[in-house]
Chains A and B, each alone.
Chain A
Amino acid sequence: MSSPICIAPIPYAALVEYWFGELPQNEDERIEVHLLDCAQCSERLGDLVKLGAGISSVFRNGGVRAVISPSFLQAMKREGLRVREYRVAPGGSVNCTISAADDAVVSRLQATLEDATRVDLVHLYEQGESRLPDIPFEPAAGEVLFCPSAASLKKSPAHTATIRLLAVDETGEHPIAEYTFVHTPS
């Protein structure tokens, strides 16, 4: 079909699931034939591919923070990223830095999360605080992995910051643990 208007465009959600290989085989094959036949849907897939490549590149270049999983941390290393890790116990403090050669820093915040339904991460600086509400976490993991923006961190002067994890439920906020980071530029 090389007509200017596609009469049966593939829904965006299906394109995304196709890209990640999540569709049943028959549906995957149906979409594959359509994409090879349809310039418009192929172009929309191209937009998704471009966006995905951009997200990957921004993260690789330290342009964005993310809460991640231990398995994803391993994937970062397999991809060749140089990662500096800081494992911090509840109430603990750590001297930390990031060098020009580092691609990422990951704070491994040890915590008991099994009873939590929602966790907020509060970052306390000398100038104020920022709150990351409802972060993703795996209750049985026993830790939260926080990967701040490496690009921002590399510009940071020496400072001390505190990260506080809070359990949030209908009765209010309950501290889980607090961690202190004494940052020195490399």
Chain B
Amino acid sequence: MHTREPDQPLDDAALAQAIAAAAPRVDTAAEAELYRRLAPRVRHYGLRHLRDAHAAEDLMQQVLLMTLERLRAGRLRQPEKLASFVLGMSRMVVLEARRGTARREGLLRTYGDVPEAVDPPEQRDLDEAKLSSCLEWLPERERSVLVMGFFADKPADTIARELGLTLVNTRVIRHRALLKLRECMNMDDTPP
């Protein structure tokens, strides 16, 4: 394992370089840190494309195992392009998932000693009683647009057509409603 000054956190590219430079040894700390950082990001990618929490979890594990595998093998020549590298693998795994093929079990057998990810934020509990109360305060149009959007994954153009609204108006309604909900739920800062 490499030694580093504890008060100087490495960026993603430097972690990738550290993992590659350690081969054939394993820089456990660098791998654990990179895994911790990338896990929620890749999981969000999986949720966005697969719309299924379990499938997204599987995708996250598979992509991160493959990433570490390639880093250990020195197959990432430009560490500053780690995000593009991970995106490429994520796309490939989504395509595989859609084709019903799975490499995960084999990878886990080979590289099963990688660290587990921390729980991503969306897995932590949200106060649903409070959210229900916040939703009740919204005007009817705003509540309908949010419920139809998030429960049934309906994009704005579909909702607009089904509720007799314009596309622009639907997006405005949705945006306004989300800002109100965030404020009602005390979800930190005002987004940009």
Interface-facing stretch out of A39-47, A157-165, A166-174? A39-47
Minimum C-beta distance from B79 to chain A (A): 12
Chain B residues near A53 (CB, 8 Å)? 122, 126, 150
Whether B48 pairs with A138 at a CB distance below 8 angstroms is: no
Whether A137 pairs with B163 at a CB distance below 8 angstroms is: yes
Minimum C-beta distance from B74 to chain A (A): 21
Cα of A75 to Cα of B151 in the assembled complex, Å: 9
Whether A64 pairs with B191 at a CB distance below 8 angstroms is: no
Would A11 and B192 be within 8 Å (CB), given that A51-B187, A133-B140 are in contact?
Answer: yes
A residues 44-81 touching B (CB-CB < 8 Å): 44-61, 63-72, 75-76, 79
Minimum C-beta distance from A62 to chain B (A): 10
| Dominant secondary structure at the A interface | helix
Contact pick for A56, options B38, B150, B155, CB 8 Å: B150
Whether B87 pairs with A46 at a CB distance below 8 angstroms is: no
Chain A residues near B141 (CB, 8 Å)? 134-136
Residue A182 at the chain B interface, CB threshold 8 Å: no
Whether A67 pairs with B140 at a CB distance below 8 angstroms is: yes
Residue A181 at the chain B interface, CB threshold 8 Å: no
Would A139 and B164 be within 8 Å (CB), given that A43-B40, A51-B187, A66-B147 are in contact?
Answer: yes
Residue A90 at the chain B interface, CB threshold 8 Å: no
Cα of A119 to Cα of B192 in the assembled complex, Å: 34
- Interface size counted on chain A using CB atoms at 8 A: 66
Contact pick for B83, options A33, A49, A60, A135, CB 8 Å: A33
Cα of A136 to Cα of B47 in the assembled complex, Å: 29
Chain A residues near B185 (CB, 8 Å)? 51
Query: Which of B40, B82, B86, B165 has most A Cβ within 10 Å?
Result: B40
Query: Which of A2, A18, A63, A75 has most B Cβ within 10 Å?
Result: A2
Contact pick for B147, options A12, A59, A71, CB 8 Å: A59
Chain B residues near A63 (CB, 8 Å)? 128-129, 132, 135
Residue A24 at the chain B interface, CB threshold 8 Å: no
Q: Who on chain A is nearest to B84 by CB?
A: A33
Minimum C-beta distance from B136 to chain A (A): 6
Would A2 and B44 be within 8 Å (CB), given that A51-B185, A64-B135, A72-B162 are in contact?
Answer: no
Cα of A57 to Cα of B140 in the assembled complex, Å: 18
Whether B11 pairs with A2 at a CB distance below 8 angstroms is: yes
Contact pick for A72, options B12, B154, B178, B192, CB 8 Å: B154
Minimum C-beta distance from A63 to chain B (A): 4
Cα of A137 to Cα of B11 in the assembled complex, Å: 51
Whether A42 pairs with B41 at a CB distance below 8 angstroms is: yes
Cα of A90 to Cα of B112 in the assembled complex, Å: 64
Q: A36-B41, A72-B148, A133-B140 are in contact. List 12 more A-B contacts (CB 8 A).
A: A1-B11, A33-B87, A37-B82, A42-B44, A50-B124, A51-B182, A53-B126, A55-B151, A65-B136, A135-B140, A136-B163, A137-B163
A-side interface residues toward B, CB under 8 Å?
1-3, 9-13, 15-22, 32-37, 39, 42-61, 63-72, 75-76, 79, 121, 132-139, 141
